[in-house]
Amino acid sequence: MSSPLRKPLIAGNWKMHLTLAQSLELARAVRDGVGDAASEVALCVPFTALALVAETLRGSRVRLGAQDLHWETQGAFTGEISPVQLVDAGATMTIIAHSERRRYFNETDEAVNKKLRAALAAKLVPILCIGETLEEREAQRTFKVLQTQLEGGLKGFAPVDLAPLVIAYEPVWAIGTGKTATPDQAQQAHLFVRKTCARLYGEGFASGCRILYGGSVKADNVDRLMAEPDIDGALVGGDSLKAASFLRIVHFQAPAAAR
């Protein structure tokens, strides 16, 4: 079970899905079903749905997030969205460096570092994604990859600046594939991430930093994952697109009962 120092966070990543009408319907259902869940809950929606979903969530305890951002506040960057625009649209969080962005849009750790700095400056809670591919795991390079992504992404910050940071460990081979990391595999990676954070930024930062697991989290595996001591929540793709499955994940069962 995660430390009481860290409030669990369940965040949905809608990716490039849903029309405005569908977004509205799903956001309403999540808002109305969240009840007294023990975790913090967030929906990371497409840019086009931000303002509308912000209205729907206003006054509720569900937070609104984006899925990416540009590091400049404004300027001639056609097609990009700035942190200022995200805040203006009602977002309070943003995913950064999702593996789909690293893979399909060649996002480097240097760009990730700039995005992180921009998000923090705009007071957006960043959810920084890291994770290894299947090839890297099979070559026993998982920890090396996580270390490189963390060192590159987090370069040059003071620990105090990183206080709002959320990290999401998302093994690439588990995203959208239906193959979830076992609770043991996920725990080992989370522990390594926490130890690396402690080495880079001190025990105080590391013990308060929330590390989410992402990769085919579903209603039927969330309880066992959340029973692990270093798993502080979930970043959920596919199963965040249906209210019933997402709400079951949000209301994960008390870890002690899940073992």
d(C-alpha 96, C-alpha 152), whole Å: 13
> Three-state DSSP class for 106?
coil
98 is catalytic: yes
Q: How far is the CB of 241 from ligand PEP (least distance, A)?
A: 9
Structure-block tokens of residue 145: 């990859």
Which residue of the set 136, 170, 190, 251 is catalytic? Answer: 170
Burial of 26 (0-12, 13-18, 19+ CB in 10 A): buried
CB of 93 to ligand PEP, least distance (A): 14
Q: Residue 134 CB, nearest distance to ligand PEP (Å)?
A: 14
Q: Evaluate the CA torsion angle 53, 91, 16, 175 in order and state its sign.
A: negative
> CA 41, 160, 81 angle in degrees (round to 5)?
55
Beta strands in 178-218 (DSSP E): 210-214
In single-letter form, the type of residue at position 200 comes to L
Residues near ligand PEP (CB under 6 A):
13, 15, 170, 175-176, 214-217, 235-238
Closest contact distance (angstroms) between CB of 73 and ligand PEP is 26
Q: Tokens in use for 133?
A: 């591919």
Of the pair 101, 194, the CB lying nearest ligand PEP is at: 101
Q: Give the nearest residue (CB) to ligand PEP.
A: 237
Residue 17: active-site member:
no
How remote is the C-alpha of 82 from its chain's centroid?
A: 19
Tokens read off for 130: 């890291």
Question: With respect to ligand PEP, which residue has the nearer C-beta, 183 or 238?
Answer: 238
Which CB sits closer to ligand PEP, 11 or 118? 11
Cβ at position 222, least distance to ligand PEP in Å: 11
Minimum CB distance to ligand PEP smaller for 89 or for 217: 217
By the 8 A CB rule, do 166 and 208 touch?
A: no
- Identify which of residues 95 and 201 has a Cβ nearer to ligand PEP in the complex: 95
Rounded Cα gap, residues 249 and 184, in angstroms: 19
Residues identified as active-site: 98, 170
